[in-house]
Amino acid sequence: MNCKRCHHTSDAHVPSQESTSLTKIGKCLVKTCLCKQFVEPIEDIDDELV
C-alpha cells in the first residue's frame, strides 16, 4: 500500500505507536521526503467494498 501524501510504500515508513494510521505507520524514511505521517488511501478501499 502506498501513502496517499508522498506515494511511497508502507515499507518506506517507520512503525510508530503514536501514529493515527490504522496500521500504526509514522514518518517516511526516504531522505528527500518530508512526509511525517503515513496516510492510507481509505477512500479507495471503501469504494471497492461498497
Counting Cα atoms < 13 Å in the Cβ hemisphere of 13 gives 27
- For the chain, what is the mean pLDDT? 83
The grid coordinates of residue 15 equal: 512503525
- Block residue for cell numbers 509514522: 26
| Grid cell in block for residue 22 | 490504522
Average pLDDT over residues 14-33: 88
Tell how many helices (H) and how many strands (E) occur in the chain. 1, 2
Q: Which of 23, 47, 27, 29 shows the shortest CA–CA distance to 37?
A: 27
Instruction: Please state the pTM of the whole predicted model.
Output: 0.72
Domain ranges for the chain, please list them.
1-40
